[in-house]
Amino acid sequence: MLIIKPHHFVDIIRSVGNRTLNFTPHPYGHALHTVAQTVLAAPYVELCIELGPDAICSPCCHNRNGACDDTIDTSFRPTAPSSKQAWNLLIDRRWCERLELKQGDCITAFAFCERLLPCVDNIQDIYRELPVDRLRTRQDELAKGVTRFLHDAAQQGRSSM
């Protein structure tokens, strides 16, 4: 089981869509690369929804006693909070509401993607602080990522039969 923030899973799936997933450690020391590898290798892995620090955040240098001390670039999203923790919580709550998930719910990566599928063309309300061009790119990457992930998972399932 992986403890994960909704937006972290969405980011992994977007990376599948834009084919930029990097499986090398990040200078911050977070575990995106290892969590992404796990999700892609095991599409039916159980995800436990977390709104606080998750499996990706735990080893990050910005994780200070369970709180993120990092900031975000607000130059292109001036209405967003500058605190990465506040921004992430805002986005995660919106994803939870949209996908009918809550803290502590467990769902497979595959089932999470199935819930994402009908949402991929309508994420304006989740990322309302983003400019239209960045929102379109995010939507396109998410749509491609969800489609690829579900297709690849189905192929994996067929090959293991």
Domains of the chain by residue range: 2-159
Q: Are 56 and 4 in contact (CB under 8 A)?
A: yes
Give pLDDT < 70 ranges for the chain. Answer: 158-161
Contact 109, 6 (CB under 8 A): no
pLDDT of the residue at 159:
62
- Provide the terminal-to-terminal Cα distance of the chain, rounded to the nearest Å: 23
Q: What is the per-residue pLDDT for 71? A: 97
Residues 6+ apart with CB under 8 A from 93: 51
C-beta of residue 91 within 8 angstroms of C-beta of residue 142 = no
Per-residue pLDDT of 100-125, as tens digits, reads: 999 999 999 999 999 999 999 999 99
**Phi and psi of 6, rounded to 5°?**
-55, -45
Q: What is the dihedral of CA 125, 22, 150, 13, to 10 degrees?
A: -10
Q: b/e for 84-94, b at 16 or more Cβ within 10 A?
A: ebebbbbbbbb
Cα–Cα dist 60/92, whole Å: 19
